[in-house]
Amino acid sequence: MECALIYMSELKAQVISALEVAIAVSPQNHELRAHLAELLIAANRPDDALQHALAVLQDVPDHIGALTVAMQACLQHSPNFSELECIGSVRSWQYK
């Protein structure tokens, strides 16, 4: 079982790396970038996930996937924040 978990972790890291390369080549691919942000949040990398989510939100302010990741990143960073406080934070980060 432990070997399977290690393999899955390595596989996820490889997928994330491949998507990061793809985003470097095609930075305006919002769907791909949002998917990468979702994988990063699942990999407990909220800072990286937020960076990609905000990049999507700059061009597509109502992108549900990117908004969801940004909220999750906020809640991971600030567990004492309410969802409403995170919405305000996401909106303020979005327009910086």
Q: Do residues 56 and 34 lie in contact, with contact meaning Cβ atoms separated by under 8 Å?
A: yes
Could you give the CA distance from residue 63 to residue 31 in angstroms, rounded to a whole number? Answer: 9
pLDDT tens figures, 11-35 = 888 999 999 999 999 999 999 999 9
What pLDDT, on a 0 to 100 scale, did the predictor assign at position 78? 72
Q: Structural domain of residue 56, as residue ranges?
A: 2-94
Q: What is the pLDDT of residue 4?
A: 60
pLDDT score for 60: 93
Q: Phi/psi zone of residue 87: left (φ > 0), alpha (ψ -120 to 50 degrees), beta?
A: alpha
> Dmax of the chain from CA atoms?
45
* pLDDT at 7 > cutoff 60: no
In the chain the beta strands, taken as DSSP E runs, fall at none
* Distance (Å, whole) CA 66 – CA 36: 10
The total domain count for the chain is: 1
pLDDT beyond 70 at 39:
yes
Residues 6+ apart with CB under 8 A from 94: 54, 57, 58, 61, 70
What is the CATH classification number for the domain harbouring 66? 1.25.40
Task: Provide the whole-model pTM.
Answer: 0.80
